[in-house]
Structure 1
Amino acid sequence: MTVFLCGFMGCGKSTIGKLAAKKLGCGFCDTDDIIVRTLEMTIPEIFEKKGEPFFRQTEAEIVKSLCGKTTVAACGGGAMLNPDTAKAAKDSGSAVIFLDVPFETCYQRIKDDTNRPIVVKSTKEELEALYNSRRDIYLKHCTARIDCTGSPVENTDRIVEVLRK
């Protein structure tokens, strides 16, 4: 089964995803890393040279290509915002797990990250508005919501528990 982790930038998808994959005995991938390797450009370069819509289309294709694989996939913050991508993931029998973390925690993790074009060009208030608009979409498109206010190990245990039910 494919396990897609979704949530806002800085919610811990990559950190928790690696731990969950190890605990579940399967592979791990990060969709942003796959995009960077495939296009041989950094995310800021992709946004600058090709635009965000191109990035989102590439992201959607990668998510769809992972359906049916035995892996935990950390998705970019915008991956499951696309209803077609979220539907493809759900319809494939994949788990789409929303890692729910308070905005302030995410912000502290991402505020100085120059590899995130949306962060670089946005104020804290704009990022919080984006977080608030995305949260309802994550909830709508996920198969499970995990409160990730604990440690990475605790959050991983919560995911494994949900998957084993």
Structure 2
Amino acid sequence: MKAIFLCGFMGCGKSTVGELVARQLKLPLIDTDAYLVEQEGRSIPEIFAQDGEPYFRKIEAEAIRTLCGTQAVIACGGGAMLNPDSAAAARKEGVVVLLDESFDTCYRRIKGDTNRPIVQRSTKEELEQLFQKRAAVYRANASCVVAGGVSPRKMAERVIAAAQEA
């Protein structure tokens, strides 16, 4: 099976669902945020503070391209599929699955998360605008879309079925 790239807004369940999918398919789970922290030797808030968001997006895009061709479940950061080149590479080498969760669910999960610089510096309204803006890009770059509003276990089942059909 090709790599499964999970994409979607912050808090949509990429890491949680990814863990369940990886376990069921007996594949490694690679969380791109954790991967970047390991590569850089510093936290995401430190990367943002020291080098800015453009630098973070650059290394995030490089990570996606590096991970293409890996037999793994890859939980992408919320902005990873915003880069058209990275998204195209991921679709070519694997299956990009959008976890289509509601803004309210995502917000409930991410509000107050100090490891998310964008959340820390944004109001709920600004995050909702970002959510709306990114939604179309996620859809355009996804190989398939899995509807949210269900348990992580049910979402994982849907991801596996969608990835096998794609």
Give the TM-score taking structure 1 as reference length. 0.98
| 2:115 alignment partner in structure 1 | 115
| 2:148 alignment partner in structure 1 | 148
| 1:67 alignment partner in structure 2 | 68
For residue 16 of structure 1, what is the amino acid of its counterpart? Answer: V
% identity of equivalent residues: 49
Q: State how far apart, in whole Å, the 2-side matches of 1:67 and 1:164 are.
A: 17
| 2:16 alignment partner in structure 1 | 15
Report the RMSD for the aligned CA atoms in angstroms.
0.6
Alignment of 1:33-44 (within 5 A): 33-44=34-45
- Aligned to 1:3, the other structure's residue is in SS state strand
| 1:52 alignment partner in structure 2 | 53
Q: State how far apart, in whole Å, the 2-side matches of 1:18 and 1:39 are.
A: 23
For residue 130 of structure 2, what is the amino acid of its counterpart? Answer: L
| 2:85 alignment partner in structure 1 | 84
* 1:88 Cα deviation after fit: 1.0
* 1:77 Cα deviation after fit: 0.1
Q: How many residues align?
A: 164
Alignment of 1:124-139 (within 5 A): 124-139=124-139
| 1:5 alignment partner in structure 2 | 6
* 1:164 Cα deviation after fit: 2.2
Contact 2:3 2:95 in 1 (8 A): yes
Give the TM-score taking structure 2 as reference length. 0.97
Contact 2:28 2:72 in 1 (8 A): yes
Q: State how far apart, in whole Å, the 1-side matches of 2:161 and 2:92 are.
A: 22
For residue 126 of structure 1, what is the amino acid of its counterpart? Answer: E
Task: After superposition, give the CA deviation of every residue in 1:91-132 in whole Å (9 maximum; x if it has no partner).
Answer: 22x100000000000000001101100000000000000000
Please list every run of 5 or more consecutive structure 1 residues that lacks an aligned counterpart in the other structure: none
For residue 29 of structure 2, what is the amino acid of its counterpart? Answer: F
Please list every run of 5 or more consecutive structure 2 residues that lacks an aligned counterpart in the other structure: none
